[in-house]
C-alpha cells in the first residue's frame, strides 16, 4: 500500500541522514518531488550534485543521462543511483556514438578543416559528452544554449548540434543565424542528405532528434489559448518546434518557465508548453493565477514517470541494508572526456 511505501522512504531518509542526497527534476511526480533535497532543471541538478561532496550517495529522481552526468561530476567514491533503470530519455537515444562518429568523419573530410565544433545537449549519453570533450566541443542545457553556441562560434566557423534539432534551431535562430544556414542532416544517408552547396555554407548542422513530449505543442493550441483568454501569456520549453516558440511570448528551460510564471502579476492567465506534472505543480503553487498546459490531452514524460515511489523505497531500503541498488557507473575513460566538455560549459558561463 502507498502509505507503507511512504513510511519506508521517510524512515530510510531519517536513518541515512546527511549520507544521502536526493535530487529531483521538475518533471517528477509530486509523490517523488516531496522527498527531494534539491528540485531543479537539468543544469541546476548537475550543480547540486557538486554541492554535496560529503554525501555518500546521490539518488537521482530523473532520467538516465542526468544520473550519468551526476556520476561524472561527483567524487569517485560517491554512488549515484537511478531508482528505475528503465527511466531513459527518448531524445537522448536518438543520437548514438557510432552515428555521430560517422557523421563527424564525413564532415571532417568534406570541409577539410577543423572548424566544426560539436555541441551536445545535456540530454545525451555520457559517450556523446565524451565525444565532445575529445573533439574540442562542449555540452549545453536549455538554460545556457545561446551562451554555449556563442562560445562554439568563437572556436570555429560551424557547429554540429545534437541530439535536439529544435533546441539547436530555436537558439541559433534567436542569435540571427539564417534558417538556410542550419540544415538538418540525415545521419543514415552516406552524404548526410544535404546538398554540397548548402553544406558548404552551413553554420549549424542539426541532428534530427526531438522530444516526444514537446513536439506535441502546436501553433493552433496557442491560437486557441489566446482566443479563449485574450491577453494570456504563453511560455514554452525550447524543445518545442520553432513555429511554436515563435508564436509564444517566451521560451526557456524548466527553471526559466518557473521564474516567468512567478513574475506575472496576480490574476494572470498563463498557458505553458511543457510537461504536465510540472505545469500542475506550478498551478498549485500559484492559486492566484490561471495556469494550464497548452496540450489539453495529458502530456507527461513517460520515462520521467517511471520513477515511482515504490522504486525510491526499494533503493533506499537497499542503502539502509548496505546495498547499492541500480547504481549508475560511467566508464572512467568516458567520464574523463565527458567531464572536459561539461567543464567547458561551466567555464563559458558568466
Ligand atoms: P531542463 O534542462 O529545462 O530541465 O530540461 C530537461 C528536459 O529533459 C526537458 O525535456
Ligand atoms: Fe527526454 Fe523529452 Fe522526457 Fe525531457 S521531456 S526527459 S527531453 S523525453
Residue ranges at the known binding site for [4Fe-4S] cluster: 89, 211, 301
Spatial neighbors of 110 by CB under 8 A, at least 6 apart, are: 196, 199
Q: Please, which pLDDT band fits residue 49 given cuts at 50, 70 and 90?
A: confident
Dihedral (C-alpha) 199, 163, 278, 350: value to the nearest 10 degrees? Answer: -70
Stretch 138-155: mean pLDDT: 97
Euclidean distance between CA atoms 19 and 55, whole angstroms: 4
**Index of the ligand 1 atom closest to the CA of residue 214:** 10
Neighbours of 186 (CB within 10 A): 14
Q: What is the pLDDT of residues 202-233, one digit of tens each?
A: 999 999 999 999 999 999 999 999 999 999 99
Q: Please, which pLDDT band fits residue 171 given cuts at 50, 70 and 90?
A: very high
Stretch 67-78: mean pLDDT: 96
pTM of the model: 0.96
Closest to 242 measured CA to CA, from 269, 210, 272: 210
**Secondary element (H or E) of residue 160:** strand 158-162
Neighbours of 257 (CB within 10 A): 25
The residue whose CA has the least distance to atom 2 of ligand 1 is: 42
For the chain, counts of helices (H) and of strands (E): 15, 12
Q: Is the Cβ atom of 164 under 6 angstroms away from ligand 1?
A: no
- Cell (9 digits) for 339: 567531464
Name the closest ligand to CA 64. Answer: 2
Distance 190 CA to ligand 1 centre (A): 31
- Mean pLDDT for all residues in the chain: 97
Which pLDDT value is given to residue 50?
87
Euclidean distance between CA atoms 44 and 61, whole angstroms: 13
Residues above pLDDT 90, as percent of the chain: 97
Task: Look at residue 141 and tell me whether its pLDDT is greater than 90.
Answer: yes
Q: What are the residue ranges of helices labelled H in 156-272?
A: 165-174, 196-201, 219-228, 242-247, 254-263
Q: Is the Cβ atom of 123 under 6 angstroms away from ligand 1?
A: yes
Task: Look at residue 103 and tell me whether its pLDDT is greater than 90.
Answer: yes
Euclidean distance between CA atoms 137 and 348, whole angstroms: 12
SS3 of residue 219 by DSSP: helix
Residue ranges at the known binding site for iminosuccinate: 25, 42, 121-123, 142, 237-239, 254
Q: What is the pLDDT of residues 259-303, one digit of tens each?
A: 999 999 999 999 999 999 999 999 999 999 999 999 988 778 999
Q: Which residues pair with 117 in a beta bridge?
A: 159
Which pLDDT value is given to residue 218?
98
Q: Catalogue all structural domains in the chain, each as residue range(s) with its CATH number.
A: 2-89+304-330 (3.40.50.10800), 92-210 (3.40.50), 214-293 (3.40.50.10800)
**Index of the ligand 1 atom closest to the CA of residue 142:** 2
Amino acid at each position: 500500500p502507498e502509505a507503507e511505501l511512504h513510511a519506508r522512504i521517510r524512515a530510510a531518509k531519517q536513518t541515512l541522514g546527511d549520507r544521502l542526497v536526493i535530487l529531483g527534476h521538475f518533471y517528477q511526480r509530486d509523490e517523488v518531488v516531496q522527498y527531494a533535497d534539491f528540485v531543479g532543471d537539468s543544469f541546476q541538478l548537475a550543480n547540486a550534485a557538486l554541492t554535496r561532496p560529503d554525501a555518500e550517495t546521490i539518488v537521482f529522481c530523473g532520467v538516465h543521462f542526468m544520473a550519468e552526468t551526476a556520476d561524472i561530476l561527483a567524487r569517485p567514491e560517491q554512488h549515484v543511483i537511478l531508482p528505475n533503470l528503465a527511466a531513459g530519455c527518448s531524445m537522448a537515444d536518438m543520437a548514438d556514438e557510432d552515428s555521430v562518429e560517422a557523421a563527424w568523419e564525413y564532415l571532417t573530410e568534406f570541409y577539410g578543416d577543423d572548424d566544426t565544433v560539436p555541441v551536445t545537449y545535456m540530454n545525451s549519453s555520457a559517450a556523446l559528452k565524451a565525444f565532445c570533450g575529445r573533439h574540442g566541443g562542449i555540452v549545453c542545457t536549455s538554460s545556457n544554449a545561446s551562451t554555449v553556441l556563442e562560445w562554439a562560434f568563437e572556436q570555429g566557423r560551424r557547429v554540429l548540434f545534437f541530439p535536439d534539432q529544435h533546441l539547436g534551431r530555436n537558439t541559433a535562430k534567436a542569435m540571427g543565424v539564417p534558417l538556410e544556414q542550419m540544415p538538418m542532416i540525415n545521419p543514415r544517408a552516406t552524404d548526410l542528405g544535404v546538398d554540397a552547396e548548402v553544406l558548404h555554407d552551413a553554420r549549424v548542422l542539426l541532428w534530427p532528434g526531438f522530444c516526444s513530449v514537446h513536439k506535441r505543442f502546436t501553433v493552433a493550441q496557442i491560437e486557441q489559448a489566446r482566443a479563449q483568454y485574450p491577453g494570456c501569456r504563453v511560455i514554452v520549453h525550447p524543445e518545442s518546434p520553432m513555429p511554436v516558440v515563435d508564436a509564444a511570448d517566451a521560451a526557456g528551460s524548466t527553471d526559466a518557465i518557473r521564474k516567468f510564471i512567478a513574475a506575472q502579476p496576480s490574476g494572470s492567465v498563463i498557458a505553458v508548453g511543457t510537461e504536465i506534472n510540472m505545469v500542475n505543480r506550478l498551478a498549485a503553487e500559484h492559486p492566484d493565477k490561471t495556469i494550464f498546459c497548452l496540450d489539453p490531452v495529458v502530456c507527461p514524460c513517460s520515462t520521467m514517470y517511471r520513477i515511482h515511489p515504490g522504486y525510491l523505497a526499494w533503493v533506499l531500503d537497499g542503502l539502509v541494508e548496505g546495498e547499492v541498488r541500480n547504481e549508475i557507473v560511467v566508464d572512467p575513460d568516458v567520464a574523463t572526456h565527458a567531464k572536459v566538455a561539461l567543464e567547458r560549459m561551466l567555464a563559458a558561463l558568466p
